[in-house]
Structure 1
Amino acid sequence: MQPFTARAVAVIRGIPAGRVMTYGQVAEAAGSRRGARQVVRILHAMSEKHGLPWHRVVNAQGRIALADDEGRYAQRELLRQEGVDVDEDGRLDLGAYLHRDSSTDITPQDG
């Protein structure tokens, strides 16, 4: 596993239940401020294999970014089970649910 990938996996594993991080926030915490798309690829390729809480990562606007209805529904329901208020369109309040990793201090707009 590449160093950035290993760090991103560790950051994703560290997101507590009932909280979310943005793709960009995960990337920055893993050492690459511009690595949000790589985080998407990591989640797609490694979530099942590594048991990652993939559902706790959203876009910088506080929305579920999955395009397919089934995936979007699954992510919304997993977040709701953890107490995150997600509306039918997949939006949530980053101000209420954003997890700030101790290795970075960015605002949601940076994510």
Structure 2
Amino acid sequence: MPDHDDTDPAGPDASRARTAPDPVEEYAAAVLDLARRIPSGRAMTYGLIAEIVGERLGRGGPRQVGNVMAGSGDRYAHLVPEGAAVVGPVQDNHPVPWWRVVNAAGSPPARHLTAALDALRAEGCPLTRDGRRVDLRRAVWFPDED
């Protein structure tokens, strides 16, 4: 017989509720984990990330992925493993390669267009003829490819 009482005075589900992951942070962690796996010279769309994460967690969409990516350097930085580094020729102060995540047309975030395109070019990512978007037919990456 145990010499201590394992019951929680708040009820049998109270301790489980305290340890359950926050759904917003769980989603953000899954998005950031997938974005960190995109290889140098490749890209994914917000929608593709949302679809893959949604299959596992049953929620989220491209806008939610965009919100997570926008907060990857501050709001969700604690969800990225300590000491994480971007793999590839581009040196960045973010542990998540945000420039590898683009919209459905292959465009990087408008606010960071020049920096993203510079990073994509440096990695050898296929771009469209005008050099303003990722050529998704050649550059898109699916996780089952690794």
The structure with the larger Rg is: 2
The answer to whether the superposition gives a TM-score over 0.5 is yes
Does residue 76 of the first structure (1) align with residue 117 of the second (2)? yes
Letter in 2 for 1:38: Q
Matches within 5 A, 1:10-89: 10-31=33-54, 35-47=61-73, 49=77, 50=80, 51-64=95-108, 66-68=109-111, 71-86=112-127
Q: What do residues 26-72 of structure 1 show as CA deviations (whole Å, max 9, x unaligned)?
A: 111112575110111111111463410000001111222x223xx10
**Does the aligned pair in 2 maintain the 1:11–1:26 contact within 8 Å?**
yes
Letter in 2 for 1:75: A
Unaligned runs of 5+ in 2: 1-21, 81-94
> Identity over aligned residues, as a percent?
35
SS in 2 for 1:62: coil
Residue matched to 1:4 = 27
Q: CA RMSD in A?
A: 2.2
Q: CA deviation at 1:101?
A: 2.0
**TM-score of the superposition, structure 1-length normalised?**
0.78
